[in-house]
Amino acid sequence: MAKKSAKFPIIYLIGTVLIIAGFICPIFKGKGLLGITKTGFDFLNFDNFGTITIAGLLIFCGAVLGALVALLKGKGAKFLKFIFILASIAGGVMLFIYFNNSWIGQVFGKGLFKNAYIGFWMICAGWVVGLIGALTNK
């Protein structure tokens, strides 16, 4: 008889890895000198700790901790996976609300999706895939 392989939450893990990779990649394309782009780490400013830093940490740390929990087995692992992906999504919602209520939101305006770069789309795809993986436990 062959041994059964361990049930591995590959869909959830792919989602969290997409979020991590998207955070590292350029998220928004700038209009400044040489088309400077912003990665997720540019949102983290520990000298001026505020909403943007908290939201960035929620996005990144939620994904990293979710990827680590995906490797664990146990009764609480499914609940923790769901909590970590929701924390990451909550960070994205915080950033969206903050940027729409500030001058940055007025500058971007309707051009938010026009200025979105590969990292933005990877994070969004990672949230969808990770949430599906957390809900289906696959």
pLDDT digits (tens, 9 = 90+) for 52-63: 899 999 999 999
Count of beta carbons in the 10 Å neighbourhood of residue 22: 26
Q: pLDDT at position 55, please?
A: 92
Each domain of the chain, given as residue ranges in start order, spans 10-29+48-136
φ/ψ of 107, rounded to 5, equals -70, -50
pLDDT digits (tens, 9 = 90+) for 26-66: 887 766 545 567 788 888 888 888 888 999 999 999 999 99
Q: Of 28, 86, 27, nearest to 59 (Cα)?
A: 86
pLDDT digits (tens, 9 = 90+) for 103-129: 555 555 555 667 778 899 999 999 999
Residue with tokens 């026009």: 114
What is the rounded CA–CA span in Å between residue 136 and residue 7? Answer: 12
